[in-house]
Amino acid sequence: MKKALLTVAAAALSLAAGLAQAQQSSPVGLWKTIDDDGKTEKSLVRISETGGVLTGTIEKIFDASKADSKCDKCSDDRKDKPVVGLQIIRGVKQDNDDKLHWVGGEILDPNNGKSYKTRLKPIDGGKKLEMRGYIGFFYRTQTWVRVE
């Protein structure tokens, strides 16, 4: 009986460790965005997954003077929508060849209304997220910090 209980307990711990590992390697969660300077906290973005596709929505802007801003420079369905609540990440999927990267979608910069191809990569055991937006060979990379 003890042996059976130990086997069940070991299996449960293994499953819990696997789930924790999956969460760490996934960008799903709430992230504090940090500007290109590496210091300035800009917003909170919640990344969620539906059917293997990631989306990211701004939940909060830290600069109180911009809290009620709208995406007046956007040219798609997000034009003139409030930035808080705006979906800025769309269509990102896990890379079939490199399971550490999430690719294939876009990220919107609400400051200029432009969308860029994107690549997400959880780093530092899932505590941080390397967010890269790019057009051709030109790119910007920010490191976001996991909040939850």
CA dist., res. 27 & res. 121, Å (int): 7
CA dist., res. 93 & res. 95, Å (int): 6
β-sheet bridge partners, residue 138 = 135
Task: Return the closest-CA partner of residue 63 out of 129, 111, 30.
Answer: 111
CA dist., res. 6 & res. 45, Å (int): 41
What is the tens place of the pLDDT at every residue in 10-59? 443 343 333 334 445 899 999 999 988 889 999 999 999 999 999 999 99
Q: What is the DSSP letter of 148?
A: -
Domain boundaries, the chain: 27-146
Task: State CA 137 to chain mean position distance.
Answer: 22
Of the candidate CATH numbers 3.40.50.720, 3.30.40.10, 2.40.128.520, 2.30.30.100, the domain formed by 27-146 belongs to 2.40.128.520
What is the tens place of the pLDDT at every residue in 123-132? 999 999 999 9
CA dist., res. 129 & res. 114, Å (int): 21
- pTM (2 d.p.): 0.82
Q: Which amino acid is at 50?
A: T
